Amino acid sequence: MAKTIKIISTILAIVFIGLFIPNFFYENDVLLSITITVGVFAYHFIMRLTVGYTINALLKNKVDYNAWWFKSRAFEAKFYDFIKVKRWKKHLPTFAPDTFDVKKHSLEEIASATCQSEIVHEVIIVLSYLPILLYIPFGTLGVFIATSFFASLIDLVFVILQRYNRPRLLKLIARQNRNSINSI
């Protein structure tokens, strides 16, 4: 998945630059619209990579999964049942599957990784709205709001996934700790 996103980001950046330059020489609304569209897509892909790698470099999957921000709220379990997370979660891609591999990492490391992943997607949700500022020079506020909103929804799905999975991981960690105490 990581390789695919990097390739798409590179292609979008190259296409954007290729489209951007002619806009200085030709006044064409269609060309400008295509350039803006490709530029916004490039922004979303490149921003996601940048945020993910930056947060990974800063936190290195060493997030305290017991911190208050990551605690499940009372309404969450019912909400996740209502939206049927269990049914669709297996169809979502994972950027770095090795990060969540129980053969390579302890349950505690995986729980920390879910927290870091949640942070990444929450930051991306906020930054998804930055293209709305393009309304100032280009107009069409509704288009920028709509694309930002739908892009943020994609990351909200991944926040939900991390918050859905974490309580299950914490139960496994607690069970593992009880078993290790009982075996002494």
Write the pLDDT tens digit of every residue in 119-137.
999 999 999 999 999 888 8
DSSP calls for 137-151: HH--HHHHHHHHHHH
- Average pLDDT of 36-40? 91
Evaluate if residue 182 carries a pLDDT over 70: no
Within 26-174, strands assigned E span none
Any long-range contacts for 135-143 (C-beta under 8 Å, 24+ apart)?
138/32, 138/36
Rounded Cα distance, 100 and 64, in Å: 16
Q: What are 140-167's pLDDT values in tens digits?
A: 888 889 999 999 999 999 999 999 999 9
Residues 6+ apart with CB under 8 A from 62: 112
Q: At what angle do helices 107-127 and 29-59 cross, to 10 degrees?
A: 150
What three-state secondary structure class fits 158?
Answer: helix
Q: Which two tokens stand for residue 33?
A: 């619209």
Specify the pTM: 0.88
CA distance 145 to 10: 25
